[in-house]
Amino acid sequence: MHNKQLMKGMLIFVFLNLMLQSLCYARENALEPSPSDSLINNTACKLNAIPENQIEEESVVVGDIFIEPLPIFDENDPDSIPLHRWANAFHIVTKPFVIRERLTFDEGDTLSPQDLKEAESILRSERFIANANIRVAPVCNEDLTHDILVTTYDNWSLIPTFSFSRSGGNNKTIIGVREDNLLGLGIRTRLRYNSDEQRSGYQLSFSSAFPGVRHSNVYLDLVDNDDGERYQFVFDKPFFHLGTKRMYFAEYLDDKRVEDIFQNDQTRNSIDIEHRRVAVATGWNVGNSRQETQRISIGFTDERSVFRIDESSPSSNPLFLPDERNYQYPWIQFDYVQRNIAVLQDVYLIQQPEDINLGWQFSTKLGLELSDVADGDEFGYHLDTHAQKAWQYGASLFVAKSQFSADINTTAKDRMLAHFAGEYFYRANDILGYYSRLSATFSSGQFKDLPIVIDDDNGVRGYANQYQHGDNRISASVEARFYTDYNIYQLFNLGFAVFADVGRAFSGELAQFNEDDGILASTGLGARLYSNKASTPGVIHIDLSTPLSDGESVDSWAISLQMRNSF
């Protein structure tokens, strides 16, 4: 009965949100300037007179904003086929007010070239938008303002899902449907059945801009699995762009599940987890210049995780049971963002514009624990720090990331974790590129339900899930990447890779149970498929790899078919 009431409430919320969005669309559409009418009627600002890149150094003052959402495929393209016309016919093009809501500027604002790049980057980050182009018209009125034309190209957003993938020796099946741009309103919905080595069940989720609050988002998620259930609600009005003045955030999460911990391609432990989190936050922009900003945020987090042995599993072992966490803490956070956006291609994706921030990004957060405090101490402390920077030199790109987190003076053992990662990209020519990665993780007192491991997804391809454990981890990869001009009916871009991975998880209590405690390595080759016409994020990997280990649980050859975040 409880689940049915939640489902009913969620559906009512979806209906009300759709109705509000439709009302907003009717109002905004009546006021939205038409590029085909307003620009063409002004002889000084005809649409075909707008240059591709009008400003390079100087800022401009925004006049009228014209929004032109375009369908998925250009039917006038000589390579157009009936499939492309059918896709356009069955797809609802994004409404202009949805694009306007996601713009970072309004009429009368002053924009620099980096402001325009940032605005394009934000539009391209939306799943339902394949690409975005913002052009500036010449001055054609007495107030010396520049009209702006925003052109967007839609992705195919209705994704029926039937997939079977195998990675790390385990199978995963997904059946369902996802719509990332319902009725052209930018609303994301998902209904699916999921089955993998740990659980099976159903998921219904919903995400949308919140009507009346610009640059905000509301997210609802309902999951009913055979091992538990999850309810999550999030309202988020983030620091949307460099000039955003205020941030608001609220979250409620209630998650019950059985989590299996693997090692040596076997289930080492099964844990019943009850996780609840309530969090609220707000923030201010405290120092903003043309290319950088500083922000201060404050908030409160109430988070509890309870762990019990799953008595129904023969693999359960009290030795590996995580400590209970019952955190309640106010916190303060400082962020520094330096904006220097470069629009590149063939970095993480294939033949797709990618927005890489070459500036510094730094964040540090300090929380004061009030509840779960060790005996003899007045307070506990929670620390989380992130830093990122990218450098471009000719055909080379280097990206560095670091993280440090700690939970100190709580009833559990002090936990500290430091992670560093560097990626190097070099484009030799139009066909060949090279990629290398080096990452390292060092920890003390790491949570047992979040182990540090080496496996197919964490450093060395071809090894089973959570194959090798340890308190520390070092891994590296090198790849030769081959880019082709071959495009499968304008649906998929094709690439290939030859790779070698090496890594090791070591030291700590769990490392003594590894069947292979040495350095793990693998080599292989694979195909890469990326669709710049679908809202599904990531790149499809089809890999054939050879793990170079004599462990009893390691196969001589491993075939993997899965979606990854990048090439």
**Selection from 466, 556, 555, 562 nearest residue 514 by Cα:** 466
Confidence of residue 217 (pLDDT cuts 50, 70, 90): very high
Across the chain, mean pLDDT equals: 86
Confidence of residue 46 (pLDDT cuts 50, 70, 90): very low
Mean pLDDT of 73-95: 89
Choice among 73-77, 453-457, 461-465 with the minimum mean pLDDT: 73-77
Q: What is the pLDDT of residue 552?
A: 85
Q: Which residues of 523-540 are buried (b: 16+ CB within 10 A; e: fewer)?
A: bbbbebbbbbbbbbeebb
Domains of the chain: 32-154 (3.10.20.310), 284-299+327-564 (2.40.160.50)
Q: Look at residue 307 and tell me whether its pLDDT is greater than 50.
A: yes
Q: What is the pLDDT of residue 534?
A: 86
Instruction: Give every CB contact of residue 14 below 8 A, 6+ residues apart in sequence.
Output: 189, 206, 220
**Selection from 422, 334, 341, 339 nearest residue 386 by Cα:** 334
Choice among 125-129, 232-236, 374-378, 389-393 with the minimum mean pLDDT: 374-378
Mean pLDDT of 52-66: 72
Mean pLDDT of 452-456: 95
Q: What is the pLDDT of residue 37?
A: 44
Percentage above 70 pLDDT, the chain: 85
Q: Look at residue 312 and tell me whether its pLDDT is greater than 80.
A: no
* Cα–Cα distance, 460 to 351 (Å, whole number): 26
Q: In this predicted model, what pLDDT tens digit does every residue of 371-422 receive, in sequence order?
A: 989 887 788 999 999 999 999 999 999 999 999 999 999 988 899 999 999 9
User: Any idea which residue has 């009916």 for tokens?
Assistant: 489
Q: Read off the pTM.
A: 0.88
Q: What is the pLDDT of residue 314?
A: 65
Contact, 45 vs 140, CB < 8 A?
yes
Confidence of residue 175 (pLDDT cuts 50, 70, 90): confident
Q: Look at residue 26 and tell me whether its pLDDT is greater than 60.
A: no
Q: What is the pLDDT of residue 51?
A: 46
Confidence of residue 354 (pLDDT cuts 50, 70, 90): very high
* Cα–Cα distance, 232 to 222 (Å, whole number): 7
